[in-house]
Structure 1
């Protein structure tokens, strides 16, 4: 059996509308929204009585997708840790953008906070990490041609 492609990355958030606003400000396009529940969802997640609202977004080139979800039931038993970038298992999504500094500023109005500083590697690229919805680390990279 051969891997065909990555389908999407999923992130559980507390405020779906705010998370959608964050990722659309970044430049992603909303594909659609739905409610997910029922026996198949319970079996998939090993959670009894799962009820979730989801939004699916895609990158402008159509190759990357992010699923944002709010789980209404069952109630969460805790929160994901806000650990440093070096912590094994901490999710990090990275997107190529036209301008890192401008993108960081636009995302600040949606709650983004720089993890460290914006850094430039030689004359090749400019890179920044921000904390996005639910504390997920979002990498923003600008390549110089």
Structure 2
């Protein structure tokens, strides 16, 4: 009997206050809106353990079509905790990392629309340039630009 195994990672979920603002932010990075829907009822609450719920979701997909971010806005029950401004050494979700082609241009464009560079853009050996930013709603995002063989 073959052992059960993971086939792939489908998505990362992020809860937001404004779905429209979060969609716009991730579109600015280069993701595309794949779909938007409302999820409600007891069946969904049985998955999350929240009971009856009403949630607006938007699925964002990377240009290569392999990775997705599911943005969720809870209408009911209301959100009860906020981890958006936690420092990078906090327990739990840290960040989503994206491979990019021009880290300086992207960071410049995002800071003009209100994103904040967490530390600075640094170079790791001769391999990568890396940084963290806080985008809309304080969402922590990492960028990595591969050096050399692009």
**TM > 0.5:** yes
Q: Which residue of 1 aligns with 2:59?
A: 56
Q: Measure how far apart 1:90 and its partner are.
A: 3.3
1:70 lines up with 2:73 in the alignment: yes
1:11 lines up with 2:8 in the alignment: no
Q: Secondary structure at the match of 2:131?
A: strand
TM-score normalized with structure 2 length:
0.90
Moved over 3 A (4+): none
Q: Measure how far apart 1:79 and its partner are.
A: 1.4
Deviation per CA, 1:1-29: give whole Å up to 9, x if none.
11100010000001101100110110001
Residue from 30, 33, 36 that aligns with 1:30? 33
- Alpha-carbon distance in 2 for matches of 1:42, 1:32: 21
Q: Measure how far apart 1:135 and its partner are.
A: 2.2
> Contact (CA 8 Å) 2:84, 2:137: kept in 1 or not?
no
Runs (5+) with no aligned partner, structure 1: none
1:103 lines up with 2:103 in the alignment: no
Runs (5+) with no aligned partner, structure 2: none
Paired residues, what number?
A: 145
- Alpha-carbon distance in 2 for matches of 1:119, 1:83: 21
Deviation per CA, 1:1-58: give whole Å up to 9, x if none.
1110001000000110110011011000110100010121111111133111110011
> Contact (CA 8 Å) 2:11, 2:69: kept in 1 or not?
yes
TM-score normalized with structure 1 length:
0.93
Q: Which residue of 2 aligns with 1:138?
A: 141
1:124 lines up with 2:133 in the alignment: no
RMSD, aligned CA: 1.4
Q: Secondary structure at the match of 1:56?
A: strand
> Contact (CA 8 Å) 2:131, 2:142: kept in 1 or not?
yes
